[in-house]
Chains A and B, each alone.
Chain A
Amino acid sequence: MAAPEIEIILNRQLADCLSVPVFIVDPEGTLLFYNEPAESILGKRFEETGEMKRMEWSTIFQPIDGEGRPIPPEELPLVIALTQQKPAHKRFFIKNYNGDRHRINVTSYPIIGRSKKFSGAVAIFWTDNEDV
């Protein structure tokens, strides 16, 4: 399997150093990596899930609004970063592997390298469980 571009590798190195959860996907939305802080929100270690296709992870980690209604994929920051190649931010809830509900703030940005090649996207998220 080919190595990812260095922009992706550097984002992973950065993610490993951060205390906030980070999620990295390739241009097709395949989950390439999430860091240890993300594991506690998502409910599983990355070593257990490994890489996942977009359809798979987007159904496992169910995004819902404050009323419990599903959020359409096109409104999710990571999907916007992937499809429109622009940064996006949103506050919403997810249900994780274990059925736990977390309110999170998500900021996503596209990864576009020096050669202008789009290599994927990153989502950084913060749990926000006040007033849930």
Chain B
Amino acid sequence: MKIRILGCRGSYPTAKKENALYGQSTSCVEVIHDGRRLILDAGTGILGLNFSDYFDLPRIDIFLTHLHMDHIQGLGFFKPLFVPGKEVHIWGPGGSTHSLKNRLNRYLSPPLFPLPLRDLPCELEIHELADSDFSIDGLNIKTEFVIHPGPTIGYRIERGEKIFVYIPDHEPMIGSQELYSGSRWISGSSLCAQADVLIHDAQYTEEEYESRYGWGHSSVKHMIELAEHSKVKTVYMFHHDPDHSDAFLEDMVTKAQKKVDDPLLSVKLASQGLEIEI
């Protein structure tokens, strides 16, 4: 299973040279396995995909964690959606009142977007997920709601013994840097259990988090605690704050690595263009 990071910036895309190294596009990750390609989130990073790979595929699957703008902004510009008859599946969290289709249509419709969802020429199917388990071509996929404003899910993708988990936006403990002892009471911990690779929100330093309670994002300390509780092997800091320069991010990861107690856990920085093989 190969994992490609197309976008790892949080909140909004940036255009400053100070943060070009780790990437300016918002959330998008591609999972490649046996000729199949899954797209996780459709932030502006989706525009970095090689579209011709997708024109040739018989079917396209896009998995959304939630519908905040930085996770769907690129969707309407993903050209394979405009191929007549192309089979496209969009998966994402259901809500308690409005359907996923209705909520997606709020963005993909005038005046925010020229075309309404129903006018896309592809054969579009929309699937609502909650705490779900299913398989696509040998990849077992598990989803669970995680703590973040609005319906938001994380993804666990398993192939044989290899486990990849993607939780880009997550505030596992609101208002405290300390998670509960014992992973049973930690949002996302079931998804993360024993993961080979976890891509996880680490938008804030501990100091920044003190003034951002309830904004839906993790401090680096949250991320490390969750990864340690869940016996993760490698965790990638993701959803970089747009105000964090490359130098600042490098300082964050250096400090993070010093806080890790578990010698089996490795902490790294996600960067646009990075490929991970597991």
* A interface residues with partner B (beta carbon < 8 Å): 1-6, 9-10, 12-13, 17, 113-117
Contact = CB atoms under 8 A, between A and B. Distances in A.
B227 to A, nearest CB: 15
A17 B175 CA distance: 9
Contact of A3 (B94, B96, B184): B184
Contacts of B93: 114
B175 A6 contact: no
B190 A2 contact: yes
A9 B94 contact: no
B184 A1 contact: yes
Contacts, number: 48
Chain B binding surface SS class: loop
A29 to B, nearest CB: 18
A2 B185 CA distance: 9
B130 interface: yes
Contacts of A17: 175
B95 interface: yes
A10 B147 contact: yes
Given A114-B95, A114-B96, A5 B145 contact: yes
Contacts of B144: 6
Nearest to A8: B185
From A1, A5, A10, A13, residue with most partner B Cβ within 10 Å: A13
Chain A binding surface SS class: loop
Contacts of A9: 147, 185-187
A39 B35 CA distance: 57
Contacts of B146: 6
A2 B173 CA distance: 18
9 contacts: A3-B185, A3-B187, A4-B185, A6-B144, A9-B186, A10-B174, A13-B173, A114-B93, A114-B96
Nearest to A13: B174
B189 A3 contact: yes
Given A2-B190, A12-B185, A17-B175, A114 B147 contact: no
A70 to B, nearest CB: 33
B151 interface: yes
Interface in B15-65: none
Contacts of B96: 113-114, 116
B183 A3 contact: yes
B131 A117 contact: yes
Interface in B183-200: 183-187, 189-190
Nearest to A112: B96
Contacts of B185: 3-4, 9, 12
B143 to A, nearest CB: 11
B147 A113 contact: no
Given A3-B190, A9-B147, A115 B184 contact: no
A6 B154 CA distance: 12
A115 to B, nearest CB: 4
Contacts of B190: 2-3
B130 A114 contact: yes
A13 to B, nearest CB: 6
A130 B123 CA distance: 68
A31 B145 CA distance: 22
A4 B184 contact: yes
Interface in B124-172: 130-131, 144-147, 151
Given A4-B184, A4-B185, A12-B185, A117 B175 contact: no
Contact of B145 (A1, A13, A113): A113
Given A6-B147, A9-B186, 15 more contacts: A1-B184, A3-B185, A3-B186, A3-B189, A4-B184, A5-B145, A6-B145, A9-B187, A10-B174, A13-B173, A13-B174, A113-B145, A114-B151, A115-B131, A115-B145
A5 B190 CA distance: 10
